[in-house]
Structure 1
Amino acid sequence: MKYIIGILGLIVVLGLAWITSTDKKKVKYRPIVIMVILQFILGFILLNTGVGNFLVGGIANGFQLLLKCAAEGVNFVFGGLVNANQFTFFIGVLLPIVFISALIGILQHFKILPFIIKYIGLGLSKINGMGKLESYNGVAAAILGQSEVFISVKKELGLLPEHRLYTLCASAMSTVSMSIVGSYMVLIKPRYVVTALVLNLFGGFIISSIINPYTVTPEEDILIVQEEKKQSFFEMLGEYIMDGFKVAIIVGAMLIGFVAIIAMINMIFKGIFGISFQNLLGYVFSPFAILMGVPFKEAIPAASIMATKLVSNEFVAMTSLATSTIHLTTRTTAIVSVFLVSFANFSSIGIISGAVKGLNEKQGNVVARFGLKLLFGATLVSVLTATIVGLIV
């Protein structure tokens, strides 16, 4: 039964993308089929094989070691604010971002990350049938983050037509930054985080290829990666440390606001309708959760967490999943977890359009105009990833 529902879910998500396609005649089906098959193969390897367990375990252990190193710095500054063996979200989850950001800066400074991003991107362009710029951007967004990635391609931003700009922004919203992956692993199982990162990369290309199909000519297919201004090592390190701290503070502030607002709305809805806002979202979103493979009896609580992510952000939803009093089966937890690992939410529209506008005001206005379409596409990427995981586990 799960295979019938899962295949129906795949048809629905790809069908929704096709219905909203800007030019159905230009959709290239061969690369899409190849990438969907790759998603199944990679998802199966990561979740169901010894090789996958070894790879995920190695990545998870690596991040655990990095988080331990981060904890040394955090405890030195903030250790006295909490009692022994107690956990606070800001100190335990957000502040390690500062160290991971500094590490990314070091890898950038010594040209290690640019090399990896560029050549993985070039390899992907052979598979997805898109341009070198789109492929580079998809990989770079998964490492640098949804706003920082545009700095590296700012030379091209002013020259891009709307359809190519959409693909770049869709990749940025469909992935997550490596600087906060470690924080995700504190809240949900690392195997789901790693699986979502890999599948979302291909999912972003799949959905964009359907919603926004086009052909890049050899003359247009030019990739010029913007070099950062020359800095000394310690100047660079200080900048990335401050950037990481800003991200931690901004995410913390957003969480305070969103959690408080959702709590207030829940209280109002319970007082007036006798049902919380999150539970109401669960009823509305539950058909999609069922199509992703969530059993009927778990559809409403699972859908409530998924919908919370869309209206707030992934950290709020992950916290709800981690602290929920409702017990979800392993399969449902896997489906919900991979759905949460992306930047697909309403606040990301403002973040991405603001980042582009800071580099090119005209193009930033273009991004703002297709913001809802951007969120729709990125959400379909998350649904596609979750549906495939639902068929695999």
Structure 2
Amino acid sequence: MLQLQSAFGIVALLMLAWAFGEHRDRVSLRRIVVGLAVTLGTAALMLKLPGAAHAFGVINEAVGVIGAATRAGTSFAFGYLGGGTAPFDIKAPGAEFILAFQALPVVLVMSVLTTLLFYWKILPPIVHGMSWLLERTLGVGGAVGLSTAANVFLGMVEAPLFIRPYLAQLTRSELFLVMTGGMAGIAGTVLVLYATLLAPHLPDAAAHFVIASVLGAPAAILVSLIMVPETEPRATGGALADPERIAVSSMDAVVKGTAAGLELLLNIVAMLIVLVALVYLANAVLGLLPDLGGAPISLQRMLGYAMAPVCWLLGLPWPQAVTAGSLMGIKTVLNELIAYVELSKLAPDALDPRSRLIMLYAMCGFANFGSLGIMLGGLTAMAPQRRAEIASLGLKSIVSGTLTTCLMGAVVGVMT
């Protein structure tokens, strides 16, 4: 029954995308069917393929090695604060874990690795291969196919750099697709961080984050073409050249990757401090109101009730939908990192393993108001002549990104 509930959710989410869209009479039913088939086929291949379990084991081992390498660096720099051996007995299990010194620095290592892999020409062929597949299966233009494929590895600002010279030529539909792709995925620099947070609570968490990143590409194309269908002739088809060289040597790539990772790390730490503080203040204000249902009113409870129907559509039992809804609300209003931290803190009986897996996919995207500011700033700097159009599509891209990740959650719900 829960799988049928998820299947109904897929249809309902696509209808919501159509309801929030524009030029509804121009939506191509054929492209919807093809897009949904590609999304379901990709999920089935990656979740049900006999050799997938072995591949996932390799991914998990790779993430474990990266995490261990990061801890080697943090323990050297920060001692027991960074994960080294404590010089005293730990009285409270888990008290030795410090998020800022042990988990978050993995962003630095991943930033350097990503920069090196691009400099060594290892990632570009993979990105171009995925772009080719998206063009052949879903009929998107070369530029947006390349940007969407790059979103599997890069963030919402880094991926469009691949097609910076073409941004001014994109149609409105293609521009929206670029924005949706950015909102519906996470960067490789934070993938390992999120996998590290959830690994103790969800088997093969790293592998599922990789699947979510790949699955986000066809799902983003499907949702964006429903919300903003193509009404103009394309001008960016065909093969595109690689972006400008990002470094002149391997050591230069290490230096630049470290600098970019440090900026991202500091931003993450600062945003965590500020957003958690804002949630506390909001709850303090709401706590002045009379109790509701025998418990104080909080931001999490309000968001939980608002997003609970959406989580039910993903295939969660209703008693768990309110808890999951609060996570979706936190992810949308604040960011996905705080939502994943909250997910890792939930009691085992709050969400069952299937519900946790669905929520991993449903929250795997940058669709929140903070990310919107980052994306608008980056895209308008790259294509200032499209500033007004980019701004007009901003809020719609949060909706499309959220619907895309929810769609992925419902697809996983059908298959588990």
Verify same fold: TM over 0.5: yes
Q: Which residue of 2 aligns with 1:74?
A: 74
Q: Which residue identity does 1:378 align to in structure 2?
A: G
Whether the 8 Å CA contact 1:102–1:237 is kept in 2: the answer is yes
Deviations 1:28-58 (A, max 9, x none): 3334323323333433444455422222221
Q: Does 1:59 align with 2:59?
A: yes
* TM-score normalized by the length of structure 1: 0.94
SS in 1 for 2:51: helix
Distance in 1 separating the partners of 2:97 and 2:320: 29
Distance in 1 separating the partners of 2:110 and 2:319: 39
Q: Which residue of 1 aligns with 2:386?
A: 363
Q: Which residue of 2 aligns with 1:84?
A: 85
Q: Which residue of 2 aligns with 1:331?
A: 354
Q: Which residue of 2 aligns with 1:353?
A: 376
1:245 to 262, 277, 288: 262
For the aligned residue pairs, the C-alpha RMSD in angstroms reads: 2.0
Matches within 5 A, 1:141-156: 141-156=151-166
* TM-score normalized by the length of structure 2: 0.89
Deviations 1:72-103 (A, max 9, x none): 22222122435737211112221111111111
Distance in 2 separating the partners of 1:338 and 1:218: 32
Q: Which residue identity does 2:245 align to in structure 1?
A: E
Whether the 8 Å CA contact 1:355–1:364 is kept in 2: the answer is no
Q: Which runs of 5+ in 2 are unaligned?
A: 87-95, 199-204, 291-295
1:122 to 132, 135, 144: 132
Q: Which residue of 1 aligns with 2:228?
A: 212
Q: Which residue of 1 aligns with 2:340?
A: 318
User: How far apart are residue 270 of structure 1 and its match?
Assistant: 2.4
Q: Which residue of 1 aligns with 2:13?
A: 13
1:93 to 95, 98, 103: 103
1:287 to 268, 291, 309: 309
**Cα separation, partners in 2 of 1:220 and 1:193, compared to 1, 3 Å:** closer
Distance in 2 separating the partners of 1:211 and 1:202: 14
Q: Which residue of 1 aligns with 2:91?
A: none
Aligned sequence identity (%): 25
Q: Does 1:391 align with 2:408?
A: no
2:318 to 296, 304, 307: 296
**Cα separation, partners in 2 of 1:243 and 1:170, compared to 1, 3 Å:** same
**Cα separation, partners in 2 of 1:45 and 1:153, compared to 1, 3 Å:** closer
Whether the 8 Å CA contact 2:215–2:408 is kept in 1: the answer is yes
Deviations 1:209-251 (A, max 9, x none): 1111216757531434432366233223201111011111101
Structure 1 stretches of at least 4 aligned residues deviating more than 4 Å after TM superposition: 215-219
Q: Which residue of 1 aligns with 2:29?
A: 29
**Cα separation, partners in 2 of 1:280 and 1:218, compared to 1, 3 Å:** closer
1:228 to 210, 220, 245: 245
Distance in 1 separating the partners of 2:208 and 2:154: 20
Distance in 1 separating the partners of 2:235 and 2:358: 42
**Cα separation, partners in 2 of 1:5 and 1:220, compared to 1, 3 Å:** same
Distance in 1 separating the partners of 2:370 and 2:221: 22
Q: Which residue of 1 aligns with 2:92?
A: none
Distance in 2 separating the partners of 1:76 and 1:366: 49
User: How far apart are residue 127 of structure 1 and its match?
Assistant: 0.6
Q: Which residue of 2 aligns with 1:305?
A: 327
Distance in 1 separating the partners of 2:55 and 2:17: 32
Q: Which runs of 5+ in 1 are unaligned?
A: none
Whether the 8 Å CA contact 2:67–2:196 is kept in 1: the answer is no
Q: Does 1:166 align with 2:189?
A: no
User: How far apart are residue 309 of structure 1 and its match?
Assistant: 0.3
Whether the 8 Å CA contact 1:45–1:51 is kept in 2: the answer is no
Q: Does 1:137 align with 2:147?
A: yes
User: How far apart are residue 379 of structure 1 and its match?
Assistant: 0.7
Whether the 8 Å CA contact 2:131–2:148 is kept in 1: the answer is yes
Whether the 8 Å CA contact 1:56–1:194 is kept in 2: the answer is no
**Cα separation, partners in 2 of 1:134 and 1:251, compared to 1, 3 Å:** same
